Every structure is written in C-alpha cells, then in structure tokens.
Amino acid sequence: MAETVLAALFPGQGSQRVGMTKDLYAGSEAARRVLDDAERALPGLLASMWEGPAATLQLTANQQPALVAAGAAAYAAWLEAGGPEARFAAGHSLGEFTALVAAGTLGLADAVRLVHRRGEAMQHAVPEGVGAMAAIVRLDGDHVERVCAETEGVVEVANRNSPQQTVISGEADAVARASARLSQEGGRAIALKVSAPFHCSLMQSAADALAPLVAAVPLAPPRMGVVCNVTADLLPDAESARDLLVRQVTAPVRWVESLERLGDLGATRFVEFGSGTVLGGLVARTLTGADVTAVDDVRSLHAALATRTAS
C-alpha cells in the first residue's frame, strides 16, 4: 500500500461562522489549550467566535485571528486524537499564518496578534466603497490576468483559486469594467461582499504597517514543508517568512500552483483544518482524484480519523 502523505490546509477569510471551535473546546483538551492561549493573546476573541454577532465576527480584524485560532485548535485536536503529523502545510492568505503555527515556525500568540493588526491595517488601507473584488469563473487565470492588464485603472488578480476560478481586486470602477468584459468573453463575474480590495497594490500601506510587526517576532525552523502563497513553493527557511508574509498582503494568492506543488511533492491526502470546506472544494477542482476531508468539529474529526483507519 502506498504511503499516505498528509498536507494540512488552513482557510482564509470568509470561512468563519459563529460557534466555530466551541465543540472542539468541549471535546479536546489540546484544542482547549490552543484556544485558551489565543484568548490570552487577544482577550474577547472566544466571545466573538462563539457568540458573535456575525457582523462582529465578520470584521477583518476579528475574523483573521479567529480563523488562525480555529485552524490551530483543529490541528492540535487531530494530533491528540492520533492523526498523523502533516508532512506539508499551506494556508490560503491569512491561513499561511496558521500553517506557520502548525509548522512550529510562528508562535500562536504572536500569530493571533499579528493577524489582528494585519486585519486592522487592511481594513483601513482603502476608504470604504473605493475598492472592490469579484470572482471570475468559467475562464482560466491567464485570460483573466490579461484582461486586467488591459483595463484602465487598478484591477489585478488577487487569488488563483482553481483552474476556472480567479478573483480580481482593485478600484471599484476598474473591477466593474474588467468584470463586464470578462462576462462578454465567456466568463461569469460574481461581486464579492468584502470590506476592502485585498491582495492588490492598493494594500501597500497595510503591508508597510505589517512589516515592522513581523520583523519583531521570533521564528523557528519549520518542522514540515510550508508552501507559500507568494512563491507557490516551499519556505526555504524561517527568516524568509518575514518577507513573504509582508509581500503576501499585496501579491496574489497562487493557490492553484500551491496545490499542484503539494501534489508534485508527494502529498496524497489533504485535510482542511479550522472552519468550513472551501479549500477542500478547491483541491477537488484542481487535483483529480485527490483524497480530501475537513476537520472543524468533533464529528468531522472522528470521521476523518475513521477514513484514515479504513484506508
């Protein structure tokens, strides 16, 4: 039987939900320790995760630390329950911070505080209503990128999520013009409900604000291979994470290439840890026949472990 090589995936914004991790907190001592540590680092975090309201949890500065805490807690519960350590990890946008926590490179408390500040900076980088984002489906990413380059104003590829789903970001008028043209050329444009135009050059002030904060935290050598958003390749060493996390704020999330890289590295099973199943769906649409599951509560944890035992 071929060896199972696990890749741990950690989601980004939009995967949050009120009540996330409450079940894990009650059912896993390891998850409880992680969540208690996150609460100490950012008091009030668990209340926003468990009680909401949804509008409060949705705020960028709140959902980013919530998702880091949720992903780290779910992975800790997985290990406590006998799940194998991941050989590789990757996170979508802010999920890369969680991947670095799982790899032992970045401390949980530092990660929670960093993404809280990251979220604040991203929220304030562009006045409300100035920017926009849209998901483009039914067209390949190169086509979308070419249209963005030919459109007047700031509109750039923000996420290459799957071979037929690319997110664009920038000035609202420019995003609208690019979306209209892409729709005429066979795509479908879906306006996203976001508070700011993430992963484009309009976020430069947020990157500048994050840089000194990332520079000040201690980092340790990764215990597993971490595939990074900016390069779609393995983190070469711990210190390189500082520059990559800052560049990530304005650079596109190269998720398709990251998944393909994990496949090339030998990953055979992909488990999404934290909240939701968005990344698992992107894996299924990118890597044919991939073994995909998600762990975000006790039930899904047991189901994922049972699947592993059966295989």
Sort 163 into a burial class: Cβ within 10 Å, 0-12 / 13-18 / 19+.
middle
> Are 51 and 92 contained in the same domain?
yes
> Are 35 and 159 contained in the same domain?
no
Q: Active site residue: 48, 93, 162, 258, which one? A: 93
User: Residue type at 236?
Assistant: P
pLDDT value at residue 137? 98
Residue 309 has pLDDT above 70, yes or no: no
Range of the domain at 90: 6-125+201-310
The proportion of the chain whose per-residue pLDDT surpasses 90, expressed as a percent, equals: 94
69 falls within a domain: yes
Whether this model's pTM surpasses 0.85: yes
Residue 311 has pLDDT above 70, yes or no: no
Tokens of 155: 């509109």
Output the domain CATH number for residue 90.
Answer: 3.40.366.10
Q: 79 and 73 in contact (C-beta within 8 Å)?
A: no
> Are 208 and 160 contained in the same domain?
no
pLDDT value at residue 195? 86
pLDDT value at residue 265? 97
Say how many C-beta atoms besides its own lie within 10 A of residue 218's C-beta.
Answer: 9
Q: 95 and 12 in contact (C-beta within 8 Å)?
A: yes
> Are 99 and 213 contained in the same domain?
yes
pLDDT value at residue 308? 58
Estimate the crossing angle of helix 60-80 against helix 298-310, to 10 degrees.
Answer: 40
> Are 103 and 222 contained in the same domain?
yes
196 falls within a domain: no
Instruction: For residue range 16-52, list pLDDT tens digits in order.
Output: 999 999 999 999 999 999 999 999 999 999 999 999 9
What would the mean pLDDT of 251-269 be, rounded to a whole number?
97
Backbone angles phi, psi at 42, to 5 degrees: -140, 80
Tokens of 240: 């390189």
Output the domain CATH number for residue 180.
Answer: 3.30.70.250
290 falls within a domain: yes
Among 2-6, 243-247, 260-264, which stretch is predicted with the lowest mean pLDDT? 2-6
Please provide the average confidence, as pLDDT, over all residues in the chain.
Answer: 96
Domain boundary among 148, 166, 191: 191
Instruction: For residue range 36-93, list pLDDT tens digits in order.
Output: 999 999 999 999 999 999 999 999 999 999 999 999 999 999 999 999 999 999 999 9
Q: Active site residue: 28, 199, 258, 300, which one? A: 199
> Are 98 and 228 contained in the same domain?
yes
> Are 51 and 119 contained in the same domain?
yes
Angle at 231 between CA 230 and CA 237, to 5 degrees: 100
> Are 84 and 225 contained in the same domain?
yes
> Are 113 and 225 contained in the same domain?
yes
Domain boundary among 191, 213, 229: 191
DSSP the chain: -PPP-EEEEE--TT---TTTTHHHHHH-HHHHHHHHHHHHHSTTHHHHHHH--HHHHHSHHHHHHHHHHHHHHHHHHHHHTTPPPPSEEEESTTHHHHHHHHTTSB-HHHHHHHHHHHHHHHHHSS-TTTEEEEEEESS-HHHHHHHHHTSSSSEEEEEEEETTEEEEEEEHHHHHHHHHHHHHTT-EEEE---SS--SSGGGHHHHHHHHHHHHHS-B---SSEEB-TTTSSB--STTHHHHHHHHTTTS-B-HHHHHHHHHHTT--EEEEESS-SHHHHHHHHHSTT-EEEEESSHHHHHHHHHHHHH-
Q: Which has more pLDDT, 307 or 26?
A: 26
Instruction: For residue range 210-233, list pLDDT tens digits in order.
Output: 999 999 999 999 999 999 999 999
**Into how many domains does the chain fold?**
2
> Are 251 and 117 contained in the same domain?
yes
Domain boundary among 139, 162, 191: 191
264 falls within a domain: yes
1 falls within a domain: no
Residue 160 has pLDDT above 50, yes or no: yes
Residue 116 is a catalytic residue:
no
Sort 309 into a burial class: Cβ within 10 Å, 0-12 / 13-18 / 19+.
exposed
> Are 16 and 70 contained in the same domain?
yes
Residue 93 is a catalytic residue:
yes
pLDDT value at residue 310? 46
CA trace torsion 45, 48, 54, 55 (10° rounding): -70
> Are 247 and 304 contained in the same domain?
yes
